[in-house]
């Protein structure tokens, strides 16, 4: 269990990409991480694009970044909603400033853009946010997954295995 003792918050909102949410959550739990699902409200049910459900363990405002090892932001339509919440932007920005691992796949880079954390970093994601990332000062790289500093990036659903591998490795080994 590579991640025993690690705590990771997963941000959720309606319209998350089912596989980009649940596969990393299962991988993190399989490796022993404590996974906390955080939404706008605690104990609220959220629906993915494919109708899988997730229930929040916590609300965004109750998350203490200092007690975390990382944040996971799944893709889908949810990031476009998540980026509108000040609590989410503050949480992600604070985690970045404290050099916590931040995993973003597919459209999740939209949250990173709104939190102001992508400038100067190599990035990857859905082709649909390529221009947004470049305009926010990120360097676009077309790879399945990559790590730059504390940011772990994944491209799309088919790249989930590479993304999960890099996310687990980065959480396990720490930042270099």
Active site residues: 106-107
CA dist 16 and 85 (Å) reads 16
CA dist 13 and 18 (Å) reads 11
- The residue behind tokens 């104990």 is 43
* Alpha-carbon distances of 103 from 51, 109, 136, rounded to whole Å: 23, 9, 18
CB atoms within 10 A of CB 39: 25
Report CA 10 to chain centroid distance, whole Å.
Answer: 7
CA dist 111 and 69 (Å) reads 18
Give the three-class secondary structure for 18: helix
């Amino acid at each position: 269990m590579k991640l025993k003792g690690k705590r990771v918050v997963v941000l959720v909102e309606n319209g998350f990409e089912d596989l980009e949410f649940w596969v990393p959550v299962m991988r993190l739990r399989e490796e022993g991480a404590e996974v906390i699902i955080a939404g706008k409200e605690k104990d609220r049910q959220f629906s993915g694009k494919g109708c899988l459900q997730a229930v929040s363990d916590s609300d965004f405002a109750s998350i203490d970044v200092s007690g975390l090892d990382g944040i996971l932001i799944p893709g889908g339509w949810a990031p476009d909603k998540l980026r509108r919440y000040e609590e989410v932007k503050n949480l992600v920005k604070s985690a970045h400033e404290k050099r916590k691992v931040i995993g973003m796949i597919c459209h999740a880079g939209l949250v990173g853009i709104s939190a102001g954390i992508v400038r100067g970093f190599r990035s990857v994601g859905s082709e649909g946010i390529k221009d947004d990332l470049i305009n926010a000062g990120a360097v676009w790289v077309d790879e399945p997954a990559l790590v730059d500093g504390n940011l772990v990036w994944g491209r799309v659903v088919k790249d989930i295995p590479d993304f999960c591998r890099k996310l687990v490795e980065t959480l396990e080994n720490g930042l270099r």
